Amino acid sequence: MAKIIERNREDRKYSITGGGACSRNLSENFKKRCLKNAERSFAQTTQCQEINSIQALLSMEDAAFVVHSPNGCVGCVSFMNDNFKVGQYHRNIRNIRNARYIVTSLDEKDIVFGGEEKLKRAVLDLNSRYSPNIIFIFTSCASGIIGDDVDAVARNLQEKIKPIIVPIHCEGFKSKVPATGFDTAFNSIIKYVFKDEKPEKEKGLINVFATTSIGYKDQIEIEKLLAVLGLHVNYIPFYSSVEKLRKIVKAEYSVAICQVFADEFMEYLKNEYDIPYSKTGMPIGIKSTDEWFLSVAKLVGKEDIALKYIEQQHEKVLPEISRIRKVTEDKRVFICAGTGRGVAAATLIDDFGMKLVGIQTPTYEEAIIENFDQLQKIHGGDFIIDIANMQPFEQVNLVNKLKPDFFLGMSNWVSKLGIPSTHILEAKRPTFGYTGLIYLGRKIENSIENPSFNVKLAKHKKLPYKESWYEENAFKYLKEGI
């Protein structure tokens, strides 16, 4: 069976994971192929691909998970589990349960003597506790470094127990781009879940690739939009199951919630199963929603229906947008989010008359350069792009210098600078489509009108950096060619 390309995201064509400058400079150098990737000689707080692999699959209904790692590697899973439980509540499930996962808690002894026995016990334990249809094993830096043969453990256990056992090789050290974890998960689905057959297509079925980070309200919005085009949805791997994963190959079309989530998997499905797909930015904000919806409409040949629907929706939302703009107009904004969500957020702020002054993005690459060009047309070329997977020290330095009126995205650090902020990754409330943009607009309006939380936080809580750091060049530790 063919595979999707097995490579890390940073190994894609002309993909930059470290760098920083104004958008105009970056774009010009990128197009001349003069932009070189820079490494950090000092780095802080990054996200790793293991977390994305787990996040992609955690909401599967009939799955259980072993994380073959020390305890610290599952630190973020409690936050994903929280979203998973809220998601169940929103879906009217009243016996709400936790995600079914075990961490093997690799310790010093296992690092010396190996952790395969622990892994075996964890898989058998999960099976007897929950009788799942599928067990995913996530690897980690520790299991990768000591060389535990996770595939062999899975193969041997597969002869003894019924659930499909799927190793996911998502060792954090393998990639600097967390989104590689999505490709790793999809590769394993192809290898262990797909059957080598080409079934008949189900009329009107569309695969929508999404992670647990979209909420129920967003699910409803997406279904509403796609129903206008006569389509029904198979969500992958979001709240799916083995049955739904196997249904992927029956779909007539595919689309992803974000252009960097499942692009290579959708290309694989096109080549192997003749499933055409559409790839655009996230449907956040009026422009990005129009584009997302129209690109699916083009795919199914129903552009005229989509255009009429878009016109009706604009009529509904424009009066409220105008009202919100009285508060938001001309406010200067800094954004920090994943690549796809960040770019979409930068179009959303334009709906509300706000200006982009800076954005932190994990990658700057061929697949997304058109989106950044579009942002330049909207916001001009002077906004700063920090190509960084997190890196709070760079973020607070830039925010302190640029002094935006508002911060959109992951504001854990800058909220201590007293800047009004709100986040854009909302698994609990709407963010997508014409419903989501009004909700986000009102949230931004509220935060600007009442910034007292951040103001008080700044008064009582200081960031750990010396005053001298704020005077330094934010990109001081970026070095080309080290």
Site of interaction with ligand SF4 (CB under 6 A): 48, 50, 69, 73, 140-141, 172-173
Contact in structure between 39 and 478 (CB atoms under 8 Å): yes
Using the minimum distance from each CB to ligand SF4, give the nearer residue, 145 or 307. 145
What is the rounded distance in angstroms from the CA atom of residue 392 to the CA atom of residue 415? Answer: 12
Please classify residue 305 by burial: count the beta carbons closer than 10 Å to its beta carbon, then call 0-12 exposed, 13-18 middle and 19+ buried. middle
| Amino acid at site 246 | R
Position with the least CB separation from ligand SF4: 172
Using the minimum distance from each CB to ligand SF4, give the nearer residue, 20 or 181. 181
Using the minimum distance from each CB to ligand SF4, give the nearer residue, 54 or 354. 54
Using the minimum distance from each CB to ligand SF4, give the nearer residue, 42 or 173. 173
Report, in Å, the least distance between residue 140 CB and ligand SF4: 4
Using the minimum distance from each CB to ligand SF4, give the nearer residue, 43 or 86. 43
| Amino acid at site 412 | N
Angle between helices 339-351 and 369-379 (to 10 degrees): 20
Locate 139 and state its tokens: 């690897």
Report, in Å, the least distance between residue 361 CB and ligand SF4: 20
Residue at token pair 């854990």: 412
Report, in Å, the least distance between residue 75 CB and ligand SF4: 7
What is the rounded distance in angstroms from the CA atom of residue 21 to the CA atom of residue 422? Answer: 25
Report, in Å, the least distance between residue 215 CB and ligand SF4: 25
Report, in Å, the least distance between residue 73 CB and ligand SF4: 3
Report, in Å, the least distance between residue 40 CB and ligand SF4: 15
CA 313 vs CA 207, 290, 322, 325, 434: distances in Å: 24, 10, 14, 18, 7
Print burial letters for 18-49: b (CB count within 10 Å at least 16), e (below 16): bbbbebeebbeebeeeebebbebeebeeebbb
What is the rounded distance in angstroms from the CA atom of residue 301 to the CA atom of residue 415? Answer: 46
Report, in Å, the least distance between residue 69 CB and ligand SF4: 5
What is the rounded distance in angstroms from the CA atom of residue 22 to the CA atom of residue 45? Answer: 24
Residues in the chain, how many?
482
Using the minimum distance from each CB to ligand SF4, give the nearer residue, 183 or 221. 183
Report, in Å, the least distance between residue 163 CB and ligand SF4: 24
Using the minimum distance from each CB to ligand SF4, give the nearer residue, 167 or 172. 172
What is the rounded distance in angstroms from the CA atom of residue 102 to the CA atom of residue 120? Answer: 12
Using the minimum distance from each CB to ligand SF4, give the nearer residue, 62 or 149. 149
